[in-house]
Amino acid sequence: MNIILLGPPGAGKGTQARKLVDERNMVQLSTGDMLRAARTSGTEMGQKVAAVMDAGNLVTDEIVIGLIREQLEADNGADGYIFDGFPRTLAQADALGELLADMGENLDRVIEMQVDDDALVARITARSTCGDCGEVYNDNTKPWPADGKCSNCGSTDQTRRADDNEDSLRTRLLAYYKQTSPLVGYYYAKDDLASVDGLASMDDVAQSISSALSNS
Per the model's pLDDT, the better-predicted residue between 39 and 27 turns out to be 27
Element (H, E) at 129: strand 127-130
| pLDDT confidence of residue 109 | 96
- Name the catalytic one among 13, 39, 109, 123: 13
Dihedral sign computed on CA atoms, order 95, 100, 102, 106:
negative
Cα–Cα distance, 194 to 112 (Å, whole number): 6
Does the annotation mark 69 as catalytic? no
Does the annotation mark 172 as catalytic? yes
The pTM score is 0.79
In angstroms, how far apart are the furthest CA atoms of the chain? 51
- Name the catalytic one among 18, 24, 69, 127: 127
The total of other beta-carbon atoms located within 10 Å of residue 120's CB is 21
Mean pLDDT of 197-206: 91
Mean pLDDT of 21-38: 88
Q: pLDDT tens digits, residue range 102-155?
A: 999 999 999 999 988 888 888 888 989 999 988 889 998 899 999 999 999 999
Mean pLDDT of 169-179: 87
Is residue 34 very low, low, confident or very high in pLDDT (cuts 50, 70, 90)?
confident
Mean pLDDT of 60-65: 90
SS3 content of the chain, % helix, strand, coil (to 5): 45, 15, 40
Nearest Cα to Cα of residue 72 among 100, 34, 93? 100
- Name the catalytic one among 88, 142, 149, 160: 88
Mean pLDDT of 167-181: 87
- Name the catalytic one among 69, 142, 149, 172: 172
Mean pLDDT of 68-84: 85
Does the annotation mark 36 as catalytic? no
